[in-house]
């Protein structure tokens, strides 16, 4: 979040307004499909580029409490919408998003949802990203703004949702943009989403940016942050009416404050996720009276855990999110273990993943698919064991399997083991061209999941490797910390070492390699073209960072800028020395640079400047700027334009 201190300077309230999403309407939309044949169909030799550019027909479907409606992000004719579908027939409600981001949604009861949106809004001479929350009636006939007109930048922090069927939520929001105003600090209101009527339950407290509530809707904890982000404090109270007290604090960017993952029914007990002795995150009991960890409840050796699936009461959990080589949920509740086994028996080889459930677990949405096929979403009725299809992820591919995917591990030059996801063209590749595709983040990781980029490249005959280089997430704190100060250095070496490892197996031709990546991966592609041109025939950057000092200055516009800057300096080390923008004359391989003008994560100027410097230096660089493009390819037209440009570029400089 960006912060501004305007002192007494007046600013019209209208300047901080954020538009409603387009009016909710009931209209015709794609109906739920019938159950497809379970057997994957044979595929043609090559799919059209447009097939891989398709937006997911349905994303993140969520069931209402009784299981009679589904809310999801949907795509119609290449445009994303928010849709609410009644199960069993009837017209859906459709929300047109336009330039507004739909950041999240949550069912409140069977008749109402609450959604969080974001939008860039001009404020004086700057563009600010504002977030707001709305109540949405499930039949599409009413939309209620939940923020006051004076709301500041952050107006959509959903703290709690009632579980008794009433339309109540707790929403934390700023109510001023002025740093010298008490309302600058987020307060918590209990809001009736059907009317927008609000009752304050927690006033803003200086420096507290995040509030946390227990399953009963009592605000129990606050996370404090100094203006520069360098000082952090954790505030706690055991019950409503008590004053908050500081229970933990730190000034080190290496130390994290442990916030409970779940408050239990016993007000003195909670669960936390924290590092074990070997540096892998695990689940622990936590005594809130002694502020001490108790018994370890769950760990996954060699991997971090991601979070909990809470039970209907909000004070217990059913399972633990664990991503090993692929995402997965480890169920701990006996009924959920039995349900998962039932689905596994029905969907042979389809890796059924439970996505959402009704409150009584009688209706379940699951996804059946694989890393080699997009799959689809299905509705399971536990009472009679019937299954019906909701929609496919990719309309053209449906349930087809395309190109095989597996996880491999190789040794970096210093002996560190690097996990990597390998996607192969169909058949038995030998001496094939290779695409090295580093993930963004860099604190992130790739896993065995459907990936439209890698599948497109494999479809064109390329082997694709996605290394989880040092500094990636999910493999414990020690592995992450090996990336400190190694942007463009040892992290880059890990990518180069993937080529050596595959060449040693005879799978790829080490003389026909290109690096392709987005965000941090785009940075790595630029760095490869600048530093290691002898290894790569070409490079492709989408939304990449070219100048780390400029990113440091960009981050200075945000609240907590000091900590952000400290973190980046710690991660990178020599900001100037590893920024490709400073060395255009060293680029020795052709490069394609693509960037969306509406990117809110990495400014488009990062690629504009890089392209200009390369052109001025007489280098072989192609630059494409997408006027409506963002950081996440939310428009099908932008996906298609990019894939076509990528295909033509690779055909010219690294043909398969």
pLDDT at 605: 96
How far apart, in Å, are the Cα atoms of 289 and each of 205, 211, 237, 248, 293? 23, 19, 10, 13, 11
**Which one is predicted more confidently, 583 or 10?**
583
The conformation of residue 558, written as its DSSP 8-state character, comes to B
Q: Of the candidates 406, 656, 621, which has an alpha carbon nearest to the alpha carbon of residue 529?
A: 621
- The Cα 543–Cα 630 span in angstroms is 9
Q: Does residue 204 lie within any of the structural domains?
A: no
Q: Do the beta carbons of residue 558 and residue 2 sit within 8 Å?
A: yes
The pair of three-digit structure tokens given for residue 21, joined into one six-digit string: 């999403």
What is the extent of the structural domain holding 596? Answer: 405-653
Q: Does residue 421 lie within any of the structural domains?
A: yes
pLDDT tens, residue by residue, 296-338: 999 999 999 999 999 998 999 999 999 999 999 999 999 999 9
Q: What's the mean per-residue pLDDT of the chain? A: 89
Residue 540: CATH number of its domain: 3.40.50.1820
The pLDDT-based confidence of 291 (bands split at 50, 70, 90) is: confident
- The Cα 175–Cα 602 span in angstroms is 28
Q: Do the beta carbons of residue 555 and residue 561 sit within 8 Å?
A: yes
pLDDT tens, residue by residue, 1-41: 333 222 222 222 233 344 445 544 444 443 333 334 334 44
Q: Does residue 476 lie within any of the structural domains?
A: yes
- Reported pTM: 0.90
Q: Does residue 467 lie within any of the structural domains?
A: yes
Q: Give the pLDDT mean for 41-67.
A: 87
* Count: domains in the chain: 1
% of the chain with per-residue pLDDT over 70: 90
- The Cα 521–Cα 443 span in angstroms is 11
pLDDT tens, residue by residue, 37-51: 334 444 445 899 999
Q: Does residue 498 lie within any of the structural domains?
A: yes
Q: Does residue 511 lie within any of the structural domains?
A: yes
- The Cα 63–Cα 70 span in angstroms is 5
pLDDT at 628: 94
- CB count within 10 Å of CB 277 equals 6
How far apart, in Å, are the Cα atoms of 590 and each of 95, 587, 652? 43, 8, 10
């Amino acid at each position: 979040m960006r912060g501004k201190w305007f002192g007494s300077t007046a600013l019209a309230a209208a300047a901080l307004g954020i538009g409603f999403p387009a009016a909710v309407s009931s209209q015709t939309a794609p109906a739920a499909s019938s159950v497809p044949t379970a057997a994957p169909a044979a595929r043609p030799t090559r799919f059209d580029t447009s097939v891989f550019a398709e937006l997911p027909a349905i994303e993140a479907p969520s069931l209402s409490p009784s299981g009679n409606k589904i809310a999801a992000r949907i795509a119609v004719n290449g445009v994303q919408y928010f849709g609410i579908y009644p199960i069993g027939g009837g017209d859906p409600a459709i929300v047109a998003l336009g330039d507004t981001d739909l950041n999240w949604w949550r069912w409140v009861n069977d008749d109402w949802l609450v959604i969080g949106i974001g939008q860039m809004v001009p404020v004086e001479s700057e563009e600010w990203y504002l977030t707001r929350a709305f109540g949405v009636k499930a039949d599409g006939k009413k939309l209620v703004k939940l923020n006051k007109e004076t709301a500041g930048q952050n107006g959509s922090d959903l703290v709690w949702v009632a579980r008794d069927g009433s339309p109540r939520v707790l929403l934390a929001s700023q109510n001023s943009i002025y740093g010298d105003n008490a309302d600058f600090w987020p307060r918590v209101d209990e809001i009736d989403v059907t009317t927008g009527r609000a009752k304050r339950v927690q006033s803003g407290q200086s420096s507290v940016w995040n509030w946390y509530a227990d399953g009963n809707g009592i605000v129990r904890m606050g996370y404090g942050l100094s203006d520069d982000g360098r000082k952090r404090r954790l505030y706690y109270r055991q019950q409503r009416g008590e004053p908050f007290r500081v229970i933990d604090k730190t000034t080190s960017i290496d130390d994290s404050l442990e916030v409970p993952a779940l408050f239990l029914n016993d007000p003195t007990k909670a669960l936390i996720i924290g590092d074990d002795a070997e540096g892998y995150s695990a689940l622990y009991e936590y005594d809130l009276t002694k502020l001490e960890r108790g018994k370890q409840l769950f760990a996954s050796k060699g991997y971090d855990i991601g979070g909990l699936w809470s039970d209907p009461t909000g004070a217990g959990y059913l399972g633990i999110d664990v991503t090993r080589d692929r995402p997965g949920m480890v169920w701990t509740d006996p009924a959920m273990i039995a349900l998962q086994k039932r689905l596994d028996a029905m969907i042979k080889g389809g890796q059924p993943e439970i996505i959402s459930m009704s409150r009584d677990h009688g209706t379940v949405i699951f996804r059946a698919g694989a890393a080699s096929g997009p799959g689809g979403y299905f509705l399971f009725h536990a009472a009679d064991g019937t299954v019906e299809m909701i929609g496919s992820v990719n309309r053209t591919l449906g349930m087809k399997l395309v190109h095989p995917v597996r996880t491999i591990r190789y040794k970096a030059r210093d002996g560190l083991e690097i996990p990597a996801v390998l996607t192969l063209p169909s058949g038995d590749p030998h001496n094939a061209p290779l695409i090295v595709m580093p993930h963004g983040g860099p604190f992130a990781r790739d896993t065995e999941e459907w990936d439209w980029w890698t599948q497109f490249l494999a479809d064109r005959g390329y082997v694709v490797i996605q290394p989880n280089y040092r500094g990636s997430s999910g493999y414990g704190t020690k592995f992450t910390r090996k990336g400190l100060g190694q942007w463009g250095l040892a992290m880059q070496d890990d990518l180069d070492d993937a080529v050596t490892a595959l060449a040693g197996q005879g799978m790829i031709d080490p003389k026909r390699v290109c690096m392709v990546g987005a965000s941090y991966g785009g940075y790595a592609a630029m760095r490869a073209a600048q530093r290691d041109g002898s290894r790569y025939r070409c490079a492709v950057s989408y939304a990449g960072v070219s100048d780390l000092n400029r990113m440091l200055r960009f981050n200075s516009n945000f609240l907590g800028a000091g900590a952000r800057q400290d973190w980046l300096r710690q991660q990178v080390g020599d900001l100037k020395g590893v920024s490709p923008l400073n060395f255009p004359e060293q680029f020795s391989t052709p490069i394609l640079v693509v960037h969306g003008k509406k990117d809110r994560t990495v400014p488009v100027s990062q690629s504009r400047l890089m392209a200009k410097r390369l052109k001025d230096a007489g280098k072989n660089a192609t630059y494409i700027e997408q006027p409506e493009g963002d950081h996440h390819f939310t428009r099908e037209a932008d996906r298609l334009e990019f894939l076509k440009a990528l295909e033509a570029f690779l055909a010219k400089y690294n043909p398969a």
